[in-house]
Structure 1
Amino acid sequence: MVEDCTEQAGGRYRIDYRTLPRQADEQRVQMVRRLAAEDESMDILGLDVTWTQEFASADWIVEWTGENRARAERGTLEGPLDSARFEDRLYAAPKNTNVQLLWYRTDLVDEPPQTWDEMFRMAQELKDAGQTHQILTMGAQYEGLVVLFNTLVESAGGSILGEDAEQVALGEDGLQALRLLRTLANSGLVSPSFSNSVEDPVRLEFQSGGGAFQLNWPYVYPAMQEAAPGLARDVRWARYPRVEADVPSRVTIGGLNLAVSAYSRHPDLAFEAALCIRNPEHQLFSALNDGVPPTIEAVYDEPEMADAYPMKDVILAELRDAAVRPRTPAYQNVSTVVSATLSPPSGIDPQEALRLLRERIQDALESKGVLP
């Protein structure tokens, strides 16, 4: 994509691609240090969706306005766009997105569960019959646990923060999410390693035949096709389970946003190059070669998507009704206290955990006593 955009520029600019450490936290630390030093050598920044508000509030990235903003927003799904906004202004262009699905074994159940309660019942029936039954997902003290909690809260009709992102909004919806998380952890239906589970071990456990249900990202599908084709024939996908039977789930999205550095010596060219990197053609290339779902809705209609993403309609349905993580410059602080308070999930006392979450998240928003 970098080579293609450089060629299309016809000599007006050349993009130099600089990779960062593999871990997201290490990427952020490196960028933050360089931006704090007003490093002029970075023009386009690839930001995790949770960093946009932090970088915008620090005046490290430039607002997208005029025709640049119009082009970035045109045809782009609202959920990814929401992750790129701060104080109702656009500070990045969504490059790719991601959302978790429910993966289930058709040799064990005829139809996917619609709700969490139904999934618990189906898993218990399989267990009672001596069959593979486990519900596999991420429960370790890290960002994956925050994603799970945020999805449960949003699916219960609430949100972690209020509309202004300055006050904690957790109430009955938060209590419902905490009860469900505790029930999951103590159900006897999860892996013994649930409280230490992150994405790839969960994938591998399901891939080796260890679960009936898996809540994980779409990358598990091509991995399973390659490593366990026999099992893959019996695996299908569905929308994430509902908390309330009559309310569709709202699933937390991931992804990458492209921002322009406030210290770039070539901001106009940087906006142009960023738009090229995230255009429909290149989003399709990334989807097919990197396994990252597009943010431009029309790309899902491309014929190549049908083979690479047989689950694309479910992905798109979730993205049209997506949940974003709390949009606050203090997100790293908020994530730290949420994951610490919820770990281990089996030890959650819902009422006490709600009280602690409200207190600790508010302190995190005000940068009191938190080390991100």
Structure 2
Amino acid sequence: MSVKAAVAAAALITVLPIVSACGSGHEPGVLNLYPPADGAGSIKSMGDKCSQESGGKYRIVTTALPKAADDQRLQLARRLSGNDKSLDLMGMDVVWTAEFADAGWLTPVPESIAGEVEGRTLGGPLETAKWKTKSDDAERLYAIPIWTNTQLLWYRKDVLRDTLDKGQPAKTWDGMVADATRSLAKGGPSYIMVQGKQYEGLMVWFNSVLASAGGEVVDPNDPNKVTLNDTPEHRAATVKALSVLKAVATAPGHDPSLTNGDETSSRLGMETGKAIYQVNWPFVLSSMRENAASGSVPFLTDMQQYAGLFADKDNTPTDEQLAPVTRAVRQKFDFAPYPGVTEGIPAKSTVGGLNIAVANTSQQKDLAFEAAMCLTNARAQKFYSIDAGTPPVISSLYSDPDFRAAYPMADDIKLQLEPEHAALRPKSPDYQAISTLLQAKLSPVGSWDPETLVDQLAEQVQKAIDGEGLIP
């Protein structure tokens, strides 16, 4: 996300009302849309444009949900379970599809538009919007992807080049640990910044490494079957993934705050010069540019010549103006695809993002889907990507010159959203419980024995599936 987008998201509470109580009815032609706080301003702008262009058929009213994903989910669940007829469109975290569809809260995407959505959408994000309920003959589309995200490997190019005499970053986690250990011995930075705190970021890290090792939490064809230890091959993959997490958390010169690490601390660990590697979302580039220009990044000298570009918070620099800043930053701080685990097995990075769904309580579903297609078309997704810092799901946009100017990592993002490189979190109506219970067992990272933890993790996933011990 750009700095502009981050500031806009923080200010949303003064711009858009936060949903609090359930409505009692609906107004014909008025479509109530509830997106998450982050990005809601951009969605509101596009919603206003779609409304104007509808010729009076509909008017989209945008109300921001809370900032935290758990609070968003709870707000929507309360409205849906209360049969709130004023709820038409909602922003859905990519991990909610199965739960909401099984609860009967989502209207399946009509076949008349499902083909268009499937034809334009990259494979990884598309899979997050699909599910098969007990009443479905096959998996079908229950939401329309609006934007996506994927983590990349960010690294100190100057340290690899000047200290380790390497031209390219490591391609595996084991290689990253080896590079960090060598850098430490030579007096260089040694942290590998990850999201190790007990929260969803830890689940994302574990899921990406597990998928990259050839494993998975549950069977994608049977969400009731735990696959962490059901075969020797799956057990070996889970042990390897856990060994990677432990190695990063206990390596010589590791980040001492790793078990409290999140996206922000990972970004700061790199910006302060302590890290040689980090895994994080694309937003870290815009932060690095601005902070380097302010003089607060010790390894990026001679960057204050660009300070004037960031002086006026109301007039952010254009991508053309930012191009020389990006080039200068990338001499010492650069990106690469997400690291792998085992040679011969493609690296996979967990897919993030947002989908738009039509509530089953809506009294104007056809109109809601018409608006949803406007909110998610190519024009809209290009606008979100540049205005809010959210990568699109439409494949063709990755060759758009304006998008590529804003995203120098466009090719790597697109690659990681293809099916062979996209890691999905468990597609299960019990995902919330699965994630919460796994986080608790994985934390603090590295304090456990991988061989022993495998069966404990499998037991926790089975408990979540069976509805035991936790009501999220």
TM-score between both structures, scaled by the size of structure 1:
0.98
What code does the residue aligned with 2:276 have? A
Mapped partners of 2:211, 2:415: distance in 1: 16
Residue-by-residue CA offset, 1:333-355 (whole Å, 9 max, x unaligned): 00011100100112121122111
Cα pair 2:153 2:278 within 8 Å, conserved: yes
Match of 1:188 in 2: 252
- C-alpha displacement of 1:366: 1.5
Aligned partner of 1:341 among 418, 434, 441 = 441
Match of 1:167 in 2: 225
Match of 1:73 in 2: 118
User: Secondary structure of the residue that 2:222 maps to in structure 1?
Assistant: coil
Match of 1:124 in 2: 181
Give 1:187-266 correspondences, 5 Å limit: 187-229=251-293, 231=300, 232-233=329-330, 234-266=332-364
User: Secondary structure of the residue that 2:354 maps to in structure 1?
Assistant: strand
Mapped partners of 2:238, 2:371: distance in 1: 42
Match of 1:82 in 2: 127
Cα pair 2:174 2:244 within 8 Å, conserved: no
- C-alpha displacement of 1:188: 2.7
Mapped partners of 2:146, 2:236: distance in 1: 35
Mapped partners of 1:136, 1:240: distance in 2: 13
Aligned partner of 2:368 among 260, 270, 273 = 270
User: Secondary structure of the residue that 2:184 maps to in structure 1?
Assistant: helix
Mapped partners of 1:190, 1:56: distance in 2: 42
Mapped partners of 2:426, 2:450: distance in 1: 21
Matched, 1:44 2:76: no
Cα pair 1:48 1:257 within 8 Å, conserved: yes
- C-alpha displacement of 1:235: 0.9
Cα pair 1:114 1:245 within 8 Å, conserved: no
Cα pair 1:135 1:189 within 8 Å, conserved: no
Cα pair 1:178 1:348 within 8 Å, conserved: no
Mapped partners of 1:272, 1:366: distance in 2: 38
User: Secondary structure of the residue that 2:215 maps to in structure 1?
Assistant: coil
Aligned partner of 2:409 among 311, 314, 317 = 311
Mapped partners of 1:318, 1:277: distance in 2: 24
What code does the residue aligned with 2:146 have? K
- C-alpha displacement of 1:182: 1.1
Match of 1:98 in 2: 149
User: Secondary structure of the residue that 1:166 maps to in structure 2?
Assistant: strand
Mapped partners of 1:189, 1:45: distance in 2: 45
Match of 1:354 in 2: 454
- C-alpha displacement of 1:221: 0.9
Cα pair 1:120 1:189 within 8 Å, conserved: no
Mapped partners of 1:318, 1:348: distance in 2: 30
Aligned partner of 2:100 among 39, 55, 62 = 55
- C-alpha displacement of 1:157: 1.0
Aligned partner of 1:112 among 169, 178, 184 = 169
Cα pair 1:208 1:228 within 8 Å, conserved: no
What code does the residue aligned with 1:79 have? G
- C-alpha displacement of 1:72: 1.8
What code does the residue aligned with 2:263 have? E
User: Secondary structure of the residue that 2:71 maps to in structure 1?
Assistant: helix
What code does the residue aligned with 2:261 have? S
Match of 2:379 in 1: 281
User: Secondary structure of the residue that 1:268 maps to in structure 2?
Assistant: helix
Cα pair 2:177 2:247 within 8 Å, conserved: no
Which deviates the most, 72-81 or 9-18? 72-81
Runs (5+) with no aligned partner, structure 1: none
Matched, 1:29 2:129: no
User: Secondary structure of the residue that 2:211 maps to in structure 1?
Assistant: helix
User: Secondary structure of the residue that 1:228 maps to in structure 2?
Assistant: helix
- C-alpha displacement of 1:246: 2.1
What code does the residue aligned with 2:60 have? I
User: Secondary structure of the residue that 1:35 maps to in structure 2?
Assistant: helix
Which deviates the most, 220-229 or 80-89? 220-229
Cα pair 1:100 1:216 within 8 Å, conserved: yes
User: Secondary structure of the residue that 2:59 maps to in structure 1?
Assistant: coil
Matched, 1:14 2:71: no
Residue-by-residue CA offset, 1:32-89 (whole Å, 9 max, x unaligned): 1111101111101100001111100000011112112112212101111111111111
Runs (5+) with no aligned partner, structure 2: 1-45, 133-138, 161-166, 229-234, 301-328
Aligned partner of 2:192 among 117, 120, 135 = 135
Between structure 1 and structure 2, the one with the greater Rg is: 2
Mapped partners of 2:471, 2:104: distance in 1: 22
- C-alpha displacement of 1:133: 2.1
Aligned residues: percent identity?
A: 41
User: Secondary structure of the residue that 2:60 maps to in structure 1?
Assistant: coil
Mapped partners of 2:53, 2:466: distance in 1: 46
How many positions carry a matched residue from both structures?
A: 372
